[in-house]
């Protein structure tokens, strides 16, 4: 199993960014744990087009089994990322650290949800593990 984890804008600041919402754990620690489950590649960008390019690059590569994507604020705004997800062949699981449905109204809408395999939100950085496990077990069943 090989899974690509993509993080969007501001998620490079995990561990320092609004810890009351996003916790104190760093992405490095989270990746360390994910790598005990399967092979994990990681990509982070603060730029919408870079995320689109990354989805194009990996999305037709069947040496990967799926993509876990936390698009950050682009979740709520980016038709370009939604179109890229719709265009590619690999399954994408949408992830959020916080429970976006319990936050400001603008975060309730996801443009990418309709084209993702599923959504995991609200479990802190454990959301990434749950999404990786969904791809692992989804593949087996
Ligand atoms: C987030 C939720 C988004 O609304 C926000 O813009 C983020 C992080 C989350 O993981 O909870 O940057 O995707």
Q: Model confidence over 5-24: pLDDT tens digits?
A: 999 999 999 999 999 999 99
Asked if residue 70 has its Cβ within 6 Å of ligand 1, the reply is yes
Q: What is the pTM of this model?
A: 0.97
At residue 141, the pLDDT reads: 60
96 as an active site residue: the answer is yes
Please identify which residue in the block is written with the tokens 């949800």: 113
Contact 96, 125 (CB under 8 A): no
Contact 44, 30 (CB under 8 A): no
Asked if residue 97 has its Cβ within 6 Å of ligand 1, the reply is yes
Backbone angles phi, psi at 77, to 5 degrees: -130, -20
Asked if residue 96 has its Cβ within 6 Å of ligand 1, the reply is yes
* H helix or E strand, kind and range, residue 52: helix 48-58
Which residue CA neighbors atom 2 of ligand 1 most closely?
A: 72
Q: What is the whole-number distance in angstroms between the Cα of residue 99 and the centre of ligand 1?
A: 9
Q: What is the pLDDT of residues 67-94, one digit of tens each?
A: 999 999 999 999 999 999 999 999 999 9
At residue 139, the pLDDT reads: 78
Backbone angles phi, psi at 40, to 5 degrees: -125, 130
Angle among Cα 93, 96, 102 to the nearest 5 degrees reads: 130
Distances from the Cα of 73 to the Cα of 20, 104, 120, angstroms: 18, 12, 16
DSSP 60: T
Contact 12, 50 (CB under 8 A): no
Specify burial of residue 42 (Cβ count, 10 A radius: 0-12, 13-18, 19+): middle
């Amino acid at each position: 199993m090989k899974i690509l984890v993509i993080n969007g804008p501001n998620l490079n600041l995990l561990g320092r960014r609004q810890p009351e919402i996003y916790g104190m754990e760093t992405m490095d620690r989270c990746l360390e744990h994910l790598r005990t489950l399967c092979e994990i590649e990681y990509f982070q960008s603060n730029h919408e087009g870079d995320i689109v390019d990354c989805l194009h690059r990996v999305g037709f590569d069947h040496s990967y089994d799926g993509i876990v994507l936390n698009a950050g604020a682009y979740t709520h705004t980016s038709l370009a990322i939604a179109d890229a997800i719709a265009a590619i062949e690999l399954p994408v699981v949408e992830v959020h650290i916080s429970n976006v449905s319990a936050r400001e109204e603008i975060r309730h809408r996801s443009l990418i949800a309709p084209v993702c395999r599923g959504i995991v939100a609200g479990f802190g950085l454990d959301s990434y593990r749950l999404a990786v496990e969904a791809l692992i077990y989804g593949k087996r069943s």
